[in-house]
């Protein structure tokens, strides 16, 4: 099947529907009781990550049927086509080659007569030189002062990856360099990011694949004006503005010289671009070597995804389990719960990766997809979430599969008086394991009564359990681990898109928003009454906004 046939009409899908009728209500308690080895048997290791997927509501047959579905949907063929640089983003007629961004220099990949790996390596080398200059102070601002603040201006894929990577790898960053991220068109974002800064020590990286995005260009112009108000010399732009883009003409028009422009390519999707020059801020923060470690982690997961059999393939298994939870168990959302403070932006990053990629309603052939597609992804770090929304996870009426992420070693070990040096980390991990266990096994009425709970309270104290989760563990959060985690989710998202037969690499919904905002912005700028080209609600809102705008405080 290659996207011509809706997944749900496929015999392998139908087999899963029938299978669900048998296993659908089987409790995880029964599944674990039936197989003492389950907790280790349903696990897989790759690229330094360990995945325990035993707390999913699946048995051997479920997994075999899911693997069969993947094969019938052409997962192996689509995977090979992606790695080979075929135009698998069909609606945009583009190759999808973020994997080439982390290929080793020895590899060759020819696309239309160009070795893209060589191009990638050349840009990485330029990025390394520039990053080192900023890090060691050789790159000076216009007045000769050292750069102390780096502000990344970009939005969506040109922001979320670098912002997440910066936060995730803060432990490894050069602390005398202060990195900030401005994405929102709301003037507050830039105003707060620049407040009190010395423009002579501030470098802006304008990240925009297209260099045509309203938010980024507007913020870049405002940043330029802010810089020039302090530096009072147009020539200063050359020392304080760097661009990352595919659009050399537009960056030149902005006043950024070609040597200050780092390219990327059409075959890198925005949300898949953090390993490209879009990650320049990451490299400045952690240095070229550690950036290389991150690429190596991604590469290790790429290689695993490319070569491991589906039934032992971590991203494929995660993707297939997501399909099972979503399409067969009816879970509309997916929580991502890292027990690692540095990963606080990881759920937001995954929201874009997952929902922009797979929030689609038609197949590649343009036919209705015929089933639910991307789950709604959300999450917060543990243990914070435990004191807010976990109530719903445990006792709410909705099924929310959870991905838990934890590490063997803390980057900031703290120990209580007289206890182990990292005893605080033990507490964090104890919470992590306890949550997954409680979600899976719950607490029966019999157990609740045996604790002496008054009968009237028993229903309130019962946890039905049977709530699925994945557990991802690694030794420590490092650039390598982060790279592996990102590639894991990228390929899991890819797997789900293949099953649904959709194009995971376009984003027409995002494009629509861009066009409509431009049109409406032109009307708001106009002082004349808005022409009635809108519906009555939008028309009235525009009128009200104009009144509010003019009102005195």
Binding site for ligand G6Q (CB under 6 A): 155-158, 208-210, 213, 216, 269-271, 356, 507, 510
Catalytic residue (choose from 37, 387, 451, 460): 387
Tokens 């491991």 belong to 308
Number of H helices, E strands in the chain: 23, 13
Cα(23)–Cα(418) distance, rounded to whole angstroms?
49
Nearer of residues 28 and 153 to ligand G6Q, judged by Cβ? 153
| Closest by Cα among 253, 256, 262 to 284 | 262
Least distance from C-beta 278 to ligand G6Q, angstroms? 8
* 172 vs 211, beta carbon nearer ligand G6Q: 211
Which C-beta is closer to ligand G6Q: that of 51 or that of 88?
Answer: 88
Nearer to ligand G6Q, 241 or 404 (CB): 241
Rg (CA), the chain: 25
* 256: Cα within 13 Å, side-chain hemisphere: 27
Distance CA 4, CA 365 (A): 6
Cβ of residue 212: shortest distance to ligand G6Q, in angstroms? 6
Q: Is 45 helix (H, G, I), strand (E, B) or coil?
A: strand
Instruction: Reply yes or no on whether 387 is catalytic.
Output: yes
Please state, in angstroms and rounded to a whole number, the distance separating the CA atoms of residues 94 and 269.
9
The token duo for 170 is: 């803060």
DSSP 530: P
Q: Give the DSSP letter string of 433-459.
A: HHHHHHHHH-B-HHHHHHTT--GGGHH
Least separation in angstroms between residue 356's CB and ligand G6Q is 6
Count of CB atoms situated within 10 Å of the CB of 543 = 12
Residues 413, 427: contact at Cβ < 8 Å?
Answer: no
Q: Return the closest-CA partner of residue 240 out of 216, 209, 206, 214.
A: 206
| CA–centroid distance for 56 within its chain | 23
Q: Could you tell me the smallest distance in angstroms from the CB atom of residue 156 to ligand G6Q?
A: 2
Q: Closest Cα to residue 313, out of 481, 492, 474?
A: 492
The active-site residue, picked from 167, 340, 356, 490, is: 356
User: Which element (helix H / strand E) includes 349?
Assistant: helix 346-351
Measured from each CB, the residue nearest to ligand G6Q is: 156
Contact 421, 40 (CB under 8 A): no
| Residue appearing with tokens 């606080």 | 344
The residue among 69 and 277 lying less far from ligand G6Q, judged by its C-beta, is 277
CA atoms within 13 A on the CB side of 424: 11
Q: For 94, which DSSP code?
A: B
Could you tell me the smallest distance in angstroms from the CB atom of residue 152 to ligand G6Q? 12
Give least dist CB 362 to ligand G6Q, A.
18
Nearer to ligand G6Q, 157 or 287 (CB): 157
CB nearer to ligand G6Q: give 208 or 325. 208
Strand order in the sheet with 178-182: 178-182, 149-153, 202-207, 241-245, 261-263
Nearer of residues 270 and 279 to ligand G6Q, judged by Cβ = 270
156: Cα separation from own chain's centroid? 10
Catalytic positions, written as ranges: 356, 387, 514
């Amino acid at each position: 099947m290659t996207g011509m046939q809706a997944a749900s009409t496929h015999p392998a899908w139908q087999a899963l529907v029938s299978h669900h009728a048998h296993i659908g209500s089987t409790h995880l308690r029964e599944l674990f009781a039936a197989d003492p080895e389950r907790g280790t048997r349903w696990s897989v290791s790759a690229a330094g990550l360990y995945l325990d997927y035993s707390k999913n509501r699946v048995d051997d047959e479920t997994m075999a049927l899911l693997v069969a579905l993947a094969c019938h949907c052409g997962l192996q063929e689509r995977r090979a086509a992606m790695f080979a640089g075929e135009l698998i983003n069909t609606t945009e007629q583009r190759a999808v080659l973020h994997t080439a961004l982390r290929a080793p220099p020895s590899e060759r990949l020819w696309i239309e007569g160009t070795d893209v790996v060589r191009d990638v390596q050349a840009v990485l080398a330029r990025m390394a030189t520039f990053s080192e200059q900023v890090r060691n102070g050789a790159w000076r601002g216009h007045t000769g002062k050292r750069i102390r603040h780096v502000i990344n201006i970009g939005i969506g894929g040109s922001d979320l990856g670098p912002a997440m990577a910066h936060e995730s790898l803060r432990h490894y960053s050069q602390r005398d360099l202060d990195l900030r991220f401005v994405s929102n068109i709301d003037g507050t974002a830039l105003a707060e990011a620049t407040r009190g800064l010395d423009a002579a020590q501030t470098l802006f990286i304008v990240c925009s694949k297209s260099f045509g995005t309203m938010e980024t260009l507007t913020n870049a112009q405002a940043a330029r004006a802010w810089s020039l108000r302090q530096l009072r010399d147009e020539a200063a732009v050359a020392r304080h503005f760097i661009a990352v883009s595919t659009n050399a003409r537009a960056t030149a028009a902005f006043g950024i010289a070609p040597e200050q422009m780092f390219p990327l390519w059409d075959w890198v999707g925005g949300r898949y671009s953090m390993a490209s020059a879009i990650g320049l801020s990451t490299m400045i923060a952690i240095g070229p070597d550690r950036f290389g470690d991150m690429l190596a982690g991604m590469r290790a997961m790429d290689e695993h995804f490319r070569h491991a059999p589906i039934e032992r393939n971590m991203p494929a298994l995660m993707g297939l389990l997501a399909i099972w939870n979503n399409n067969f168990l009816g879970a509309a959302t997916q929580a991502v719960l890292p027990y690692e403070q540095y990963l606080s932006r990881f759920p937001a990053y995954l929201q874009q990766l997952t929902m922009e990629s797979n929030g689609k309603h038609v197949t590649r052939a343009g036919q209705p997809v015929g089933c639910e597609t991307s789950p709604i992804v959300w999450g917060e770090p543990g243990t914070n979430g435990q004191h807010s929304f976990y109530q719903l996870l445990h006792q709410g009426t909705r099924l929310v599969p959870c991905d838990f992420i934890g590490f063997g070693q803390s980057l900031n070990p703290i120990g209580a008086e007289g206890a182990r040096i990292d005893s605080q980390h033990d507490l964090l991990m104890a919470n992590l394991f306890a949550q997954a266990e409680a979600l899976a096994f719950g607490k029966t009425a019999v157990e609740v009564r045996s604790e002496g709970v008054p009968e009237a309270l028993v229903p309130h104290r019962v946890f039905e359990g049977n709530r699925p989760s994945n557990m991802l563990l690694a030794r420590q959060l490092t650039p390598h681990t982060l790279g592996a985690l990102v590639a894991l989710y990228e390929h899991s998202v890819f797997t789900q898109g293949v099953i649904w037969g959709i194009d995971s690499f376009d984003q027409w919904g995002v494009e629509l928003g861009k066009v409509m905002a431009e049109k409406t912005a032109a009307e708001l700028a106009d002082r004349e009454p808005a022409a009635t080209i809108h519906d009555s609600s939008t028309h009235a809102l525009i009128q009200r906004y104009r009144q509010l705008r003019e009102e005195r405080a």
